[in-house]
């Protein structure tokens, strides 16, 4: 018996009902409307409606790990044309803790951000604090391993323990043991209160072998079902399932089919590819055509500027990316002609704005010489100016892509 408004399925009824039917009873937590489909590619223009506003897609999702875009206020983030942010479940769980955020009125009130928010599930930290750390492969680090099958079946990372029920971490703050499983992740995300939350998964390493990845995928799928069971349907949050499967075509297709069958509100496409862009694009080709057309797709954690049109052409609606903010804090500005390293001496004599075509307040008011001086003098205002410009530049770039889809040019 399915109880309206309460827990949607009882333990016994699970035995007799197929998952698709079980989960079909969940109310729509967000609405996604496709307003134009490209005739040239899988790109589409959409509107994603959440409790905190409507987002035009394709859309960049800047990364606010600790409930902040480092160096900017929420007002400035909005001014940078950012419309939706993603915060990090694992780090907010460690500090300040989801109970504190909840008692502050949830993430939106806590950080004074009235627009839509996402939280990831902590699944990426299973990779980044686990095999990612052991083998030195990260989203930003461009270290490509020579051997592709370093991680074999049954192997555990040095600092984590991954079990069928979840993952044991050690807090980097005080060394205490932390357990994160599907239920824990969902309950933390419900207290944080973002509009869109993600299922708990294991993001696998690009150096994981086939057998390891296959076993890991079974866990991710098991956790996906557990996340749906754990979710509170009254939270008003959209829950996105995550497709994994590493670099293996059959596993990716199997994952996309299985996760699609469960009735999630949208889909995250996860995985770590190091700098192997070709593989990442091939993976998108395999996965996207298996996902339901009418639901939003979010590519987790990518986004060099040159990748953005390629992933959008392959049918990605949302993508989070820490490139603009991460590089800004290292003195790098993204401009129409490429990248500028403002710490270089030659910029001290350069009286041009960061980008002559950019209309952000930094480019309207400041010159390269001044920002270069601030970087070299280690003044934190430099990081703020670069973060603002980079976000505005990336958001404007995506805005132009939406325009190209609208005009039938992509
Ligand atoms: Zn600018």
User: What whole-number distance in Å separates Cα of residue 341 and Cα of residue 353?
Assistant: 14
CA angle, 196 then 267 then 133, to 5°: 85
274 touches 144 (CB < 8 A): yes
Query: Tokens 């419900």 correspond to what residue?
Result: 190
265, 307, 320, 355: which is the annotated catalytic residue? 320
Distance 333 CA to ligand 1 centre (A): 9
Residue by residue, DSSP assigns 50-113 as ETTEEEEESEEEEB-TTSS-TT--HHHHHHTT---EEE-HHHHHHTT-HHHHHHTTSHHHHTT-
Distance 327 CA to ligand 1 centre (A): 15
pLDDT of residue 29: 61
Strands of the sheet containing 161-162, edge to edge, are 161-162, 167-170, 177-180
149 carries an active-site annotation = no
C-alpha distances (whole Å) from 92 to each of 64, 67, 120, 392 are 11, 8, 11, 26
Residues 6 or more apart whose Cβ sits within 8 Å of residue 177: 168, 169, 170, 171
- pLDDT digit of tens for each residue in the chain (410 aa)? 333 333 333 333 333 333 444 344 334 567 999 999 999 999 999 999 999 999 999 999 999 999 999 999 999 999 999 999 999 999 999 999 999 999 999 999 999 999 999 999 987 787 777 667 667 655 444 444 444 677 777 777 777 788 999 999 888 788 888 899 999 999 999 999 999 999 999 988 788 889 999 999 999 999 999 999 999 988 999 999 999 999 999 999 999 999 999 999 999 999 887 778 888 999 999 999 999 999 999 999 876 899 999 999 999 999 999 999 999 999 999 999 999 999 999 999 999 999 999 999 999 999 999 999 999 999 999 999 999 999 999 999 999 999 999 999 99
Q: Could you give the dihedral angle defined by the CA atoms of residues 232, 233, 234 and 239, in that order, rounded to the nearest 10 degrees?
A: 90
Distance 349 CA to ligand 1 centre (A): 19
320 carries an active-site annotation = yes
pLDDT of residue 352: 98
Tokens, residue 327: 């590089």
Of 219, 226, 233, the residue nearest 164 (C-alpha): 219
User: What whole-number distance in Å separates Cα of residue 359 and Cα of residue 50?
Assistant: 29
Of 89, 82, 43, the residue nearest 66 (C-alpha): 89
Distance 280 CA to ligand 1 centre (A): 30
Question: What pTM did the predictor assign?
Answer: 0.88
Distance 392 CA to ligand 1 centre (A): 6
99, 120, 275, 341: which is the annotated catalytic residue? 120
Distance 366 CA to ligand 1 centre (A): 9
């Amino acid at each position: 018996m399915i109880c309206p408004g309460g827990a949607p399925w009882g333990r016994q009824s699970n035995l007799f009902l197929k998952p698709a039917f079980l989960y079909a009873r969940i109310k729509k937590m967000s609405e996604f409307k496709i307003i134009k489909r490209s005739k040239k590619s899988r790109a589409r223009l959409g509107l994603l409606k959440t409790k905190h506003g409507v987002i035009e897609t394709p859309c960049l999702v800047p990364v606010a790990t600790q409930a902040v875009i480092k160096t900017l206020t929420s007002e400035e983030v909005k001014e940078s044309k950012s419309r939706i942010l993603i915060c990090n479940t694992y780090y907010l769980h460690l500090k300040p803790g989801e109970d504190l955020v909840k008692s502050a009125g949830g993430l939106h009130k806590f950080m004074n951000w009235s627009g839509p928010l996402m939280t990831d599930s902590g699944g990426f930290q299973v990779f980044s604090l686990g095999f990612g750390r052991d083998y030195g492969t990260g989203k930003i680090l461009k270290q490509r391993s020579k051997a592709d099958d370093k991680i074999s079946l049954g192997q555990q990372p040095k600092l984590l323990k991954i079990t069928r029920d979840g993952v044991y971490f050690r807090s980097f703050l005080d060394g205490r043991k932390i357990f994160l499983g599907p239920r824990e992740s969902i309950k933390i995300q419900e207290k944080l209160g973002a509009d869109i939350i993600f299922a708990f998964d294991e993001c696998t390493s690009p150096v994981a072998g086939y057998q390891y990845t296959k076993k890991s995928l079974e866990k991710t799928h098991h956790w996906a079902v557990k996340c749906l069971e754990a979710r509170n349907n009254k939270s008003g949050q959209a829950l996105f399932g995550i497709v994994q499967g590493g670099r293996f075509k059959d596993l990716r297709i199997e994952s996309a089919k299985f996760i699609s069958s469960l009735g999630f509100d949208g889909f995250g496409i996860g995985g770590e590819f190091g700098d192997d862009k070709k593989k990442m694009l091939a993976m998108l080709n395999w996965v996207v055509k298996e996902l339901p057309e009418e639901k939003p797709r979010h590519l987790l954690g990518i986004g060099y500027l040159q990748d953005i049109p390629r992933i959008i052409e392959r049918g990605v609606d949302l993508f989070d990316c820490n490139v603009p903010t991460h590089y800004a804090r290292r003195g790098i500005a993204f401009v129409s002609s490429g990248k500028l390293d403002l710490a270089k001496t030659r910029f001290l004599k350069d009286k041009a704005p960061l980008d002559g075509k950019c209309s952000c307040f930094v480019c309207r008011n400041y010159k390269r010489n001044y920002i270069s001086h601030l970087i070299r003098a280690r003044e934190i205002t430099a990081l703020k100016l670069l973060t603002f410009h980079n976000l505005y530049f990336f958001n404007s770039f995506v805005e132009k892509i939406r325009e190209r889809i609208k005009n039938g040019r992509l």
